[in-house]
Amino acid sequence: MATIDFQVNYSNAMVPGTETLSGSGLGFFGATAGSSVQIGAYQSSTFVSNGDGSATSGQTNNVKYRTSVFPSGQCVVNSAGSDFNVGLSGVVSYQTTLGIRFGHTTAVKAQNTQLRIYDRTNISYPASGVNTKVAEVVNWNGANPVSQGSDGVSSAHIGSGDAFWWGEPWPSELVGSQNFYENSLGTKFYNGLDTSSVVNGDSRVGNGVATGDDETVGGTGIIVPLLDSPGSGQKGLQEIAGTPPGTPNGTNYGLVWPKWSQYINSSSQSTWAPSVGSFDGDSTNGKKYTFGGTGLHTHHTWCVALSASPLAIGSKEQFGLYVSLEYL
């Protein structure tokens, strides 16, 4: 009755080019399929691949983490053969690396959705020999991303997903002390700051293999929360009960508040994204509008960006993605 599919290559109408990876996975490469990525660098292309990367099929969207830029959350998006430097929140949903679709024969609500990067044996153990950055993308602007040019420029199209990559040091000057996202069940998901001694608190990462080897999603240190009940093609995120401020008169539902408004403190939001204004998603009253959708649907779709960097030479096969959720 319940299924989870992993999809790639959405059209701008959120129709996947590949409905399910069907036992295949994703391979992260250099400029071409099968080419290596330098230690400490991040992939330049992403393909549907077998387990060791020796056989590939279709190329997928590539979203590449950019290191050492401020504010964090910058990336390079490769869609239709062109590269764009863009703020993470400016990536459009259909241009992400991977779609995750939950289906059920009965309309249900999805909650407590969690994404883990693991060693393909134990979901509490981090992947071996690789750093991974992950971000949830919610942006239906419909426009192709426009290159932001110089570092530090925020996107012209501000989405409602993550503003920073999970697994990178978050900027303390924008986040303050709330370096976590809290979901509708009250579970808090933490990510280290650029002023912290560690980014991922799991003792099984950060063992000195390479510089920044604890800057990764994985283990019990960094688990990525995904929004509640996004609905098919994320349409459910326009159906938030409780009339969030700004909801048109005469309706009893509105748009989800940005996920990032929980962890970018309200006093810094106008600095980071001047065109958007300020949300008090970090307050007790405002937080309830940042959890995601509240409706019942037979399908729910999450869109995520993934970027990976090897810590040593060789194929990284102890490297998997695991998604769990509750439905009712």
Arithmetic mean of pLDDT, 253-262: 84
The residue length of the chain stands at 328
Arithmetic mean of pLDDT, 64-68: 87
- In angstroms, rounded to a whole number, what is the distance separating the alpha carbons of residues 49 and 60? 10
For residues 170-190, one letter each, b for 16 or more C-beta atoms within 10 angstroms of the residue's C-beta and e for the rest, the string is bbeebbbeebebbbbeeeebb
Arithmetic mean of pLDDT, 91-120: 95
- In angstroms, rounded to a whole number, what is the distance separating the alpha carbons of residues 222 and 215? 9
Taking alpha carbons only, the member of 261, 259, 257, 262 closest to residue 270 is 261
Q: According to the model, what pLDDT value does residue 142 have?
A: 45
Tell me how many domains the chain contains: 1
Arithmetic mean of pLDDT, 280-288: 82
**Domain range enclosing 323:** 2-327
CB neighbourhood size of 287 (10 A): 18
- In angstroms, rounded to a whole number, what is the distance separating the alpha carbons of residues 203 and 181? 22
226, burial (CB in 10 Å: exposed 0-12, middle 13-18, buried 19+): buried
Tens of pLDDT, residue by residue over 148-176, are 655 555 555 678 899 999 999 999 999 98
Cβ contact 102:110 at 8 Å: yes
Report the run of H or E that residue 131 belongs to, with start and end.
Answer: strand 130-136
Torsion angle (degrees, nearest 10) of CA 230, 265, 84, 292: 0
Among 94-103, 137-146, 188-197, 285-294, which stretch is predicted with the lowest mean pLDDT? 137-146
- pLDDT > 70? residue 320: yes
Arithmetic mean of pLDDT, 214-237: 95
Q: What three-state secondary structure class fits 188?
A: strand
Among 133-147, 158-172, 258-272, 277-291, which stretch is predicted with the lowest mean pLDDT? 133-147
In this predicted model, which residue has the larger pLDDT, 325 or 93? 325
**C-alpha dist (Å) from residue 238 to 115, 234, 255, 261, 293:** 23, 8, 4, 17, 7
Question: For tokens 């309309």, what's the residue?
Answer: 107
Q: According to the model, what pLDDT value does residue 7 have?
A: 95
